[in-house]
Structure 1
Amino acid sequence: MQQNKRLLAVALFLGTLLAVFELSGLRDHFSLTFLQQQIAENRVSGLLVFVLLFSLGNLIQIPGWVFLAAAVLTLGRIWGGLATYVAASISCALTFFTIRLVGGDVLRQLKSKTAVRILGQLDARPIRSVVLLRVLFQTVPALNYALALSGIRFRQYFTGTLLGLPLPIILYCLFFDYLAKMLRIPGVQ
């Protein structure tokens, strides 16, 4: 019964957060154009806004590639990739702490054989598991929620995140840089 309350609390928290962003018009600030404008107008405050929006966006299901594309198109593939790596890492950490605070380790309380088997694999090789999941799914919010609710230690979660994010970010940076050059988007060398 307690696990149902925790899962419901997480769902209500995320639903309320999404509703606030939708109804207030804040979701409009998650566009490629807005993000590029923020970064271009003032590098320091623009990057801080970028990190904040990436973190909030991760909680409300905004895909990380939107942020990466904005950073690469504005800063280039190297600096854009680095900015995205930092923002994604901070975003994953904030999501972990927020969801863990609301839902605890509720997935540990599930009695399903599948859940026990999956958590057993996570327990056996936590860092390796998170690295693999990050390479495959990057910063997908559902993955962040599941890992936060799984009971994994933050140190293992964050280490796996830091090790798993570079490869997909590099590949996306190359892709967006190539795409921008092929489409001759202004400002991209």
Structure 2
Amino acid sequence: MLIALIFVVFPFCMLFAAISDILSMTIANRVSALLVVTFVAVAPLTGMDWAAFGLHLVAGLLVLSVTFALFALGGMGGGDAKLLAATSVWMGFNFTLLQYLVIASILGGILTIAILAYRKSPLAAITGQNAFLRHFADEKVGVPYGIALGLGGLIAFPESPLAMWALERLSA
């Protein structure tokens, strides 16, 4: 049951956030809340010691502090800030968190450049009414960074402590 929760909840939330951001330019609070609540419920049952558990929560709070400041300055959306912090709780205060942040940043940069190029292309005028592409074509809206955060989370997830624990149990 724990292994199923680990392998279903996190990937589902990452995919849901990415798709939601594509379609509506929003990431619902319930996605971030589900990530944090699931981590808090599952991590102690895996045998994670309290110090490590606390460091996971500290990682989330630290990332939330930085992303909240970026949100206040207009540098990122509120849903992106909360998703980044909730994902950081799963990664922990270790190399996996750094890996996630770097991957999401690289993907976000590529995504931003691609969307800016698309917006300047004639293709945007033709495909701009499509449900999946309308926000990409609209120069008045930002970049749906939840795509990069979701993909970055999925790429880094196998190295996260809970995923490693679950993979060890499956291989035993």
Q: Same fold (TM over 0.5)?
A: no
TM-score after normalising by structure 2: 0.35
TM-score after normalising by structure 1: 0.32
Greater relative contact order structure (CA < 8 Å, 6+ sep)? 2
